Amino acid sequence: MENKRLMFQGTASSVGKSLITAAFCRIFQQDGYRVAPFKSQNMALNSYITKEGLEMGRAQVVQAEAACVEADVRMNPVLLKPTSDKKCQVILNGKVFKNMTAMEYHEFKPELSQMVKETFDSLSTEYDIIVLEGAGSPAEINLRENDLVNMGMAEMADAPVILIGDIDRGGVFASLAGTMMLLTEEERRRVKGIIINKFRGDVEILKPGIQMLEDIVKIPVLGVIPYYNVQIEDEDSLAERFRSQNRQGRQIKVEVLYLPHVSNFTDFNVFETQEDVELRYVMRGEQIGDPDILILPGSKNTIEDLLYIKESGLAEQILKLHRNGKLIVGICGGYQMLGKRLHDPHGTESSIEEMNGLGLLDVETVFELEKVTTQVEAKIIPQLSGVLEGTQGLAVSGYEIHMGKTSLGEDCIVMNQIVNRLGETVDLKDGCVNREGNVMGTYIHGIFDNIPFTRKVLNNIRRAKGLEEKGSTIESFQAFKEAEYNKLAQIVRENINMEKIYSILNGEQ
């Protein structure tokens, strides 16, 4: 069939574009089409490494999973990773290009347009339907010139647009009408339908407003999607996820530190699937509680975030937990912070050249100019007692994204033997554990997605508390996500006029 494309844009950030796009990737896949997502430019600290070792936005990986296809860096050719309030690391086609200020990037965008168009065209030749996602709002009139992610992208792809508004935040009719008003006449012609998202209540009450909105904007409302709760990774859910208090009163408490430059927070979503785990994110200004496991996550600016931990008083709280025998885990940047010293001779991440770490692991890290981006398969090496007892030999897999090289001292035990890297058989080492087995560091993002490993650790904690061991309620994290994608697709399908969606897709209106 001739390639079709459909684009979802929103009246603002966090209106649900990413999940609606994922939903339609799964719906079209269920209907027998080969589907791929596409977002020309994504700004996010949540990224993923493809099997080729290329870095892309994790939201498009989720959408690819929903479409039942392999993540491909062409689905997100431009990734912006904020390094400070004014600068971003610019990643093009999966590789680091350079750090740029907002103004430098804006001036650079005309050079990107041809690359983005060629990437989209290349992807389009392999799929029946491309589902595009915009960014923020198309009504940012100060950014209209050189736009390559909203209406500029829709024009490049010749894609019809469906506009999404979030009623839960209030003012949905004004935001939808105002967005349409600020578009050019040509851009307005491209908008073929409206979706009202996150509605709570009786839709009958909304119908008079929908009729008035349609009279004003001359665009049909294709459906009203109710507020839903699906456990799918969503870039827009970052703030909401950090503030949520998950399942209070459960037997095992896991806390994750909020960091100013936190990255890859989805490493810990798996804990939400375990019915005996209470997951809490420790926000700025909050105290660490009394968790069984404390996790220091990845960071886009490790030294600056370590400074935050020290100046906020969190460092003393971490050391106290350690003295009480609780499990302290560091992932990627968090692993580096747990060491004795960090060195940044090239100013790779910060203007601070050296800093003492928390000293809980006998390691030192030197930041290098080259970023490591790779998928890995590994197995746990050491035979340990306590919280990590019984993990020896367990298989784990995930991916690495880091610019630091960590060397181990005599008081550290290597944690993982990497046996496969980017599809090739290797014999490499990763991470380490202290001799007491209650401090663990690794570069492997997604290590907790490996259910046998995670359940073994949780059950060791249960036994120490005098509780019976417990199995996982899910077969695998991937199987759990599959069920959630189907749930999301069903919710959207039941509340959208799919006949009109296909008419729009086929260019019939």
CA atoms of 89 and 244, how far apart (whole Å)? 29
Distances (CA, A) of 288 to 245, 283, 316, 319: 13, 9, 10, 11
- Please give the single-letter amino acid code of residue 500: K
The H or E element containing residue 77 is none
In 3-state terms, what secondary structure has residue 229? coil
- Please give the single-letter amino acid code of residue 481: K
Give the relative orientation of helices 314-323 and 302-311 as an angle to the nearest 10 degrees.
Answer: 80
Is 194 exposed, middle or buried (CB count within 10 Å of its CB: 0-12, 13-18, 19+)? Answer: buried
Nearest alpha carbon to residue 376 among 418, 417, 428, 431: 418
Active site residues: 332, 445
Q: Between β-strands 4-10 and 35-38, what pairing exists: parallel, antiparallel or unpaired? A: unpaired
- Unique residue bearing structure tokens 């935040």: 169
Is 242 exposed, middle or buried (CB count within 10 Å of its CB: 0-12, 13-18, 19+)? Answer: middle
CA atoms of 270 and 485, how far apart (whole Å)? 15
With helix as H, strand as E and coil as C, how does 247-298 read?
CCCCCEEEEEECCCCEECHHHHHHHHHCCCEEEEEECCCCCCCCCCEEEECE
Q: Are 72 and 424 in contact (CB under 8 A)?
A: no
CA atoms of 463 and 502, how far apart (whole Å)? 55
User: In sequence order, which residues have a C-beta less than 8 Å from that of residue 237 and are 6 or more positions away?
Assistant: none
